[in-house]
Structure 1
Amino acid sequence: MISSIQKNSIGIEASKFDAFFLHQGKEGLEAFREQIDLVTEKLEKVFREADGPYTGQPPMELKQSLEEKLKIWNNPRPLNDVLEEWEPTILKNSLQVSHTKSIAHLHCPPILPGIAAELIIAALNQSMDSWDQSPAATYVEAELIRQLSRLVGLPASSDGVFTSGGTQSNYMGLLLARDAFCAKQWNHDVQAYGLPGEMKRTKVLCSEEAHFSVKKSISQLGLGEEAVIPIPSDENHRMNLQHVKETFTQLEQDGALPFAVVATCGTTDYGSIDPMEDLAELCQERNLWLHIDAAYGGGLVFSHQYKRKIAGLHQADSITLDFHKLGFQPISCGLFLLKDRQHYRLLSHHADYLNPEEDEEEGILNLVNKSVQTTRRFDALKMLLTLNTVGTDLLGKMVDQTMELAEYAASVLEEKSAFAVENRKPELTTVVFQYRPLRSENVSDWNRKIQQILFQEGKAAIAKTSVNGETYLKFTILNPRTSKEDIDKVIQEIEKAGTEMLNGGYQK
């Protein structure tokens, strides 16, 4: 007879669930291995049979095919049956970001140690908010951040936390900048009393080409988008230093209160890097917070040949880094660094059930004190496993390879009369250009159509963007396996599509 302790409230033996969870029992371990093997086999098949970055299925056709196949089931089904259904619908119609001709967005191929770490992360399922939920993981993240901070060049007073990515990291930088300013300027505690009325006068400066999350963060922080002053860019798409100085003068005359400058180390379109050292000097003179969004360009900390490009990064008060860009990690793997860890007090809250103040008195480290998130993944493990197995030397060579490929792509396009290259000397790994056939009437339409043709025919995944109101094409090279031959073939496909369009081969 089964006791009430052995049954749940609906009368089912608890052991009936054993095959659905990873646990120390034989049935759980065997089920885990079986399911991982099935998924591995299916993924190997999908990757092996992929002809290009995408199958070419149009959006509405894909949407309809998924709606017809997907539904919620009431009863258990074999994993293999589900994977068989998913193969032609979900798996094969996903973007093959690891394909060497997938060069559209800031979307890198995941390095194998990162993928392996994802399995460990999911299986262990540590939540990084309190030490008793993530005992070893807490100290792994803390130590890795200490070492990465030194790699960037930050002082011993620095600290950091892993985040979901650039948007969250930029938000944290501006949140701390706002509250530090209120404490310094008016001895005002925003956490306790909200925003003071004088905050209507505050301003934040950034490049007109800064990431949209700057304005988004400022609006969410209660200051309104009008508090963001966009500074014009120079011919190299960098924040114009003279305009910054003139803006400071004008703001002083207007009685405004600038409290932060956001520099961009790698804009989304051009990979341009603002003059970080000069901006740091200006901020120090005026006692302003400098946040550097290095979500893209921060990957050069590993570079052997190009690290000089990020000189001045270490002078920031806060920094955004994304290892799921030029660190080749699976999404997500962002990092927020803070020069002075004392500023974390501005977002720390204590909950008796989670991170009581007594824990701090006893020296127990609860990482929720440094994050705007509560539940948070053990993403630090991906970077640690990569650094432990690949090493910084080879990782740096991978970064350098992508940089060299961008320079090569720009030089090849520059030599061809049918193309106009916007950034002839790429700062990072993006190349913005336009196909300009002699007989075209609407250049923007031609370029938009070319991007769609290459994607829908599975030839290549490239991006499109806007320059002065016109549509341009863009390469974003983040795959060190991409070769010069791949670049040549993609350019040839663009020329082929353009020629066929000019000759009436495609419908506009």
Structure 2
Amino acid sequence: MRPQGSPSPLARADAAGRPADDPRSHLLNNATAEEYRRLVSDGVARVARTVAGTTRPFTGTTPGELAPVVDAIDLDRPLGDASAALEELERVYLRDAVYFHHPRYLAHLNCPVVLPALLGEAVLSAVNSSLDTWDQSAGGTLMERRLVDWTAARIGLGRAADGVFTSGGTQSNVQALLLAREEAFRLLRKNSAAPPPVSAMLPKLRVLTSEAAHFSVLKGAKLLGLEPDAVVPVPCDASRRMRVDALAHEVRRCREEGLTVMAVSATAGTTDFGSIDPLPEIAALCEEAGVWFHVDAAYGCGLLASPTRRHLLDGIERADSVTVDYHKSFFQPVSSSAVVVRDGTTLRHATYHADYLNPARNVEERIPNQVDKSIQTTRRFDALKLWLTLRVMGADAVGELFDRVVDLAADAWRLLDADPRFTVVTEPTLSTLVFRYVPARAGNGGPAADETAVDLANLHAREAIAASGEAVVAATVVDGRHHLKFTLLNPETTLDDIRAVLDLLAAHAEDHLTRNARLTGTPAA
């Protein structure tokens, strides 16, 4: 409904007789192409100025400070002018956005993005292809299929492999588990004289995964109707890799208890530690047991392009399904991900035909509809970003960028390991470091610090550095204790940046402990 007092779209007319404020003037078409060029140029110029002028990754704003600014916007009263809207956008978004391109953003699995991918983003948004059916995407369909084939070849899955782009690692993991569940049902029916109903099979299904695996495995199991205890966490070794002996024990236990292991989900790059499970040994165990082998390589997939570290993924070529997130270690904008399977026929478990979209006759006519493979229907042409990246930069250049952050993590680990102010959990395989501030006295023969106080000091240090805007780091819990975390995905970050952030964290933590000691009357550790 038009706000009271606003002019009618028919109140004014342009020279051609069309109302100047006709809503059709906002559609992209041959008549508005030049206006589109101007608007996008203005928007890109503003973002470029913001990026060029960014001196810290975050302003430190809080939800309490920013929410009233956003809530004050009356969405029923349009500004009527793109320049005014961009000015407003500066206040409600650009000014306080978290900028992953800044070298002291060290928190989560967010990467700076390469320019060819941004070009792809601009193109795909304007054309707005939908990658569900051929008659909505044409060349986009074939380009996505070619990229899936390229990825499958890099993994080493063979000529029967296939896959589809997804919104992210969670969707990829959920779809992989869906395929594994349906294949488990198929085998149970095949091997039973009297095929049991789904209601009898479902409660007995189990998924085995590392205790350090991503939470999307648990979420996927719930979405697929599995029991609350269906996901069995397998213990890790000191390097936070799944223990194969413990996995073998769980496989035997499930068999003895009449349970069906529908999948083993290994991780090639855990979120907290960047650890890579022993893929060859897990693959061998799965092959012997006849169990679906999934590899969540959402983080570690950058190794597929690495000129020096591809061997760290050895064994992934034996997987039944693989998750890849190009928007992590291929430096792509969100979203750009895929699930790839060894046997493309298993994707039929996600296939449904609708007469209004992808009728079954399309298969006989060999019309390529990507919706036949996906759990999504409408889907962006996100593959274009990776396509242009490979055509402009090449895979080796992407791999070299990932190698840089892995090299940096190794140098930062040595720095942390030698610093008495911190303890570091494990030497990194990829680019993640988990560590904890410890008071100096505890490491030099003095009285041990109260662990709860140290927990609070670490939490405070993270919050204080974010509030200052000087850096952004992450946090996690290891063995019941609060730790800090660097996730290094910016090739522009230097060891000097790491040193500076460590000094800030230590200062904030020490200040917290000192102030707490004054308040409680206890000596600082």
TM-score higher than 0.5: yes
2:70 is aligned to 66
Output aligned runs, 1:373-388, within 5 Å: 373-388=376-391
Q: 8 Å contact 2:143–2:383 — kept in the other structure?
A: yes
CA contact (8 A) 2:461 2:506 kept: no
Aligned to 1:249: 252
Pick from 24, 27, 45 the counterpart of residue 49 of structure 2: 45
Displacement, 1:366?
Answer: 0.5
Structure-2 residue corresponding to 1:489: 500
Matched, 1:458 2:448: no
**1:36-435 counterparts in 2 under 5 A?**
36-68=40-72, 70-75=73-78, 77-187=80-190, 195-423=198-426, 425-435=427-437
User: Where has structure 1 moved over 6 Å in runs of 4 or more?
Assistant: 9-12, 505-508
- Per-residue Cα deviation, 1:215-237 (whole angstroms, up to 9, x for no partner): 11111111123111111111111
User: Letter of the aligned partner of 2:324 in structure 1?
Assistant: L
> Does the 8 Å CA contact 1:466/1:472 hold for their aligned counterparts?
yes
SS in structure 2 at match of 1:225: coil
1:469 corresponds to 2:471: no
TM value normalised by structure 1: 0.93
Indicate the residue corresponding to 2:6 in structure 1.
none
User: Equivalents in 1 of 2:177, 2:134: separation in Å?
Assistant: 27
Deviation of residue 24 (structure 1)?
Answer: 1.8
Opposite residue 440 of structure 2, the aligned amino acid is: L
Deviations 1:51-70 (A, max 9, x none): 201011122112223223x2
Q: CA deviation at 1:18?
A: 4.7
Larger deviation, residues 206-215 vs 496-505: 496-505
Structure 1 residues 279 and 14, CA, compared in 2 at 3 Å: closer, same or farther?
farther
Give, in whole Å, the separation in 2 of the partners of 1:225 and 1:268. 23
Displacement of 1:19 after TM fit?
3.1
Asked whether the equivalents of residues 46 and 87 of structure 1 are also in contact (C-alpha less than 8 Å), the reply is: no
Q: Distance in 1 between matches of 2:279 and 2:501?
A: 34
Q: 1:501, 1:507 within 8 Å by CA — same for their partners in 2?
A: no
Query: Could you list the per-position Cα deviations for residues 334-354 of structure 1 after superposition, in whole angstroms to 9, with x for gaps in the alignment?
Result: 110010011112221111111
Deviations 1:16-55 (A, max 9, x none): 3453122122xx0121011112112211222233220101
1:437-487 per-position Cα deviation (integer Å, ceiling 9, x unaligned): 136541110111111111110111110111111110000001111122222
Distance in 2 between the 1:58 and 1:340 partners?
48
1:325 alignment partner, SS class: helix
Structure 2 CA distance for aligned equivalents of residues 154 and 443 of structure 1: 47
Q: SS where residue 473 of structure 1 aligns?
A: strand
The answer as to whether partners of 2:185 and 2:201 remain within 8 angstroms in 1 is no
Out of 20, 23, 33, which is 2:26 matched to? Answer: 20
1:464, 1:471 within 8 Å by CA — same for their partners in 2? yes
Read off the aligned partner of 1:480 and give its amino acid letter: P
Taking the aligned partners of 1:342 and 1:287, their CA distance within structure 2 comes to 18
Match of 1:6 in 2: none
Q: Distance in 1 between matches of 2:118 and 2:517?
A: 40
State the SS of the aligned residue for 1:462: strand
Kept in 1: contact 2:286–2:292 (CA 8 A): yes
* AA in 2 matched with 1:107: N
Counterpart residue type for residue 47 of structure 1: V
Are 2:332 and 2:386, in contact at CA under 8 Å, matched by a contact in 1? yes
Helix, strand or coil for the counterpart of 1:229? strand
Assess if the C-alpha contact under 8 Å between 2:319 and 2:342 holds in 1: yes
- Aligned partner of 1:3 in structure 2 is none
- Alignment partner of 2:346: what SS? helix
Secondary structure of 2:105's counterpart equals coil
Q: Is the Cα–Cα contact under 8 Å of residues 19 and 31 in structure 1 kept in the other structure?
A: no
Which segments of 5 or more consecutive residues in structure 1 lack a partner in the other structure? 1-8
CA distance in 2, matches of 1:264, 1:507: 45
Does the 8 A contact of 2:295 with 2:322 survive in 1?
yes
Structure 1, 74-83 or 333-342: larger mean CA deviation = 74-83
1:200-226 deviation digits (Å, cap 9, x = unpaired): 222111111111111111111111231
| 1:299 CA drift (Å) | 1.3
Structure 2 letter corresponding to 1:494: L
Q: CA 1:257/1:505 → structure 2, altered by over 3 Å: closer, same or farther?
A: closer
Q: Which deviates further from its counterpart, 166-175 or 107-116? A: 107-116
Shift in Å, 1:76: 5.3
What is the deviation of 1:268?
0.6
**Cα contact 1:157–1:339 (8 A) shared by 2:** yes
In structure 1, distance between residues paired with 2:10 and 2:132:
33
Identity over the aligned pairs, expressed in percent? 37
Structure 1 residues 316 and 501: CA distance shift in structure 2, 3 A: same
Contact 1:216/1:225 (8 A) holds in 2: no
Deviations 1:247-280 (A, max 9, x none): 1222222121212111111111001111111111
AA aligned opposite 1:463 = A
Q: Could you tell me which residue of structure 2 aligns to residue 5 of structure 1?
A: none
SS for the counterpart of 2:251 is helix
- Distance, in Å, in 2 between the alignment partners of 1:344 and 1:177 is 10
Q: Distance in 1 between matches of 2:215 and 2:281?
A: 23
Contact residue 131 and residue 366 of structure 1 kept, 8 A: yes
Deviations 1:367-392 (A, max 9, x none): 10000000001011010000111111
Other structure's SS at 2:484 match: strand
1:503 Cα deviation (Å)? 4.5
> What is the CA-CA distance between 1:195 and the residue it aligns to?
2.4
Task: State the Cα distance separating 1:14 from its structure 2 match.
Answer: 8.6
State how far apart, in whole Å, the 2-side matches of 1:143 and 1:296 are: 22
CA distance in 2, matches of 1:174, 1:124: 33
- Does the residue aligned with 1:320 lie in a helix, a strand or coil? strand
Distance 1:491 1:385 in 2: 37
Is the Cα–Cα contact under 8 Å of residues 290 and 318 in structure 1 kept in the other structure?
yes
Partner of 2:439: 437
The amino acid that maps onto 1:431 is L
Farther-moved stretch of structure 1 (33-42 vs 99-108):
33-42
Q: Which amino acid aligns with 2:57?
A: P
Distance in 1 between residues matched to 2:311 and 2:459, nearest whole Å: 36
TM-fit CA distance, 1:433: 0.4
